[in-house]
Chain A
Amino acid sequence: MSIANYLYLSAILFTIGAIGVVVRRNAIVVFMCIELMLNAANLAFVTFARINGNLEGQVVAFFTMVVAACEVVVGLAIIVTIYRSRRSASVDDASLLKR
């Protein structure tokens, strides 16, 4: 098996995550799709670390995980705040600036 298969898998998962961000309307599911994209990027980092034979890719993947954790914490807090005021977690409902 070629090691590039991991990179293909990463590309496919990233694409699926991107579709989810565009298509789904529940803000929480959109967040999960963003997590999927970050995870796919991490897989690419780990694979490239192995291809190139140094650990820097793994260190960057580690940093990505920390940033993803921060993003989830703040994002979910925002979702809870929006839900509290509008009683809905749909991204289409939060269109107050449009009107």
Chain B
Amino acid sequence: MINVALDVGTTASPESYLFYVLAPLSVVAAIGMLLVKKAVHSALLLAWVMVTLAIFYIAQEALFLGIVQIVVYTGAVMMLFLFILMLVGVDTSDSLEENIKGLRIISIVAALGFGGLLVTLLSRATFGRPVVGLSVNNSEGNAKGIAVELFTRYVFAFEVISALLITAAVGAMVLAHSQKAKSKFVQRDLSIARFRKGELKDAAGLPGSGVYALHNAVDVPALLPTGNPAPSSISAVLQARGDIIETSNFELKEQTEEDK
């Protein structure tokens, strides 16, 4: 059991070294999370903040929560974030220009006020209060202590929260599932549609594009038996682009006197 001894209100020096090294790092990472442009970098910085918090939990005699923090947050939740980032597009970097005028300044001032209020409040609430510590509760191990609490006093809340978890999973599936409005148009449907069109001219499929030795022939219309070009033999994309070569360019011409 990790059990950092503590005096009344203060902690032993190893823990304070840990805190003074890791706390500034976590605050810097959290601020960096706001400043970096790319969401992936934000995610990595947040993962670091979560790891430092897990270390703090373990240092504060909450071994079980520390491990859960690493497994659930840095493991599952951050991976989920990264997956969604990959789905939604990693390259879409956030434009940092503000939409509402002065929003950033107002929010920073408000946040400073809020944070200052919180810190002064906390200092007045906890200074001078003796710290009890968890050595009694953790005497049989932190996980066992939590399990006793969880399955006796909080068993109802535990059941409710399991219902919440299942509901959330089902809800996510419903949200992420996209049902097709109509079934896919497969080759069989195409064939049926061709025969039901009334005239059987195209029932065997469209003619293939022309093949001429002089030219790569996807953009050349085929010649019908009558000698006329068949525009339907060319992909609609090429027709829209206008990348069509006249069939007449490749027709055999009668030899003139000059050619001889």
Contacts and interface: CB of A to CB of B under 8 A. Distances in A.
Interface of A: 1-9, 11-20, 22-26, 28-29, 31-33, 35-36, 39, 42-43, 46-47, 49-56, 58-59, 61-63, 65-74, 76-81, 83-84, 88-90, 92
B211 interface: no
A76 B76 CA distance: 13
B28 to A, nearest CB: 10
Contact of B88 (A53, A72, A89): A89
Nearest to B82: A28
B226 interface: no
Given A12-B119, A18-B114, A61-B62, 6 more contacts: A1-B15, A2-B127, A18-B111, A28-B84, A52-B132, A92-B99
B43 A32 contact: yes
Contact of A15 (B43, B114, B176): B114
Contact of A67 (B31, B112, B137, B164): B164
Interface string B95-131: 1001100011001100110110011001100110101
B10 to A, nearest CB: 6
B168 A2 contact: no
A36 B119 contact: no
The B interface, classified by DSSP as helix, strand, loop or mixed, is: helix
B175 interface: yes
Interface of B: 6, 9-11, 13, 15-16, 19-20, 23, 26-27, 30-31, 33-34, 39, 42-43, 46, 49-50, 53, 56-57, 60-62, 64-65, 68-69, 72-73, 76-77, 80-81, 84-85, 87-89, 92, 94-95, 98-99, 103-104, 107-108, 111-112, 114-115, 118-119, 122-123, 126-127, 129, 131-134, 136-138, 142, 145-146, 149-150, 153-154, 157, 161, 164-165, 167-169, 171-172, 175-176, 178
The A interface, classified by DSSP as helix, strand, loop or mixed, is: helix
Given A50-B133, A62-B150, A83 B88 contact: yes
A81 B175 contact: yes
A3 B123 CA distance: 11
A15 B88 contact: no
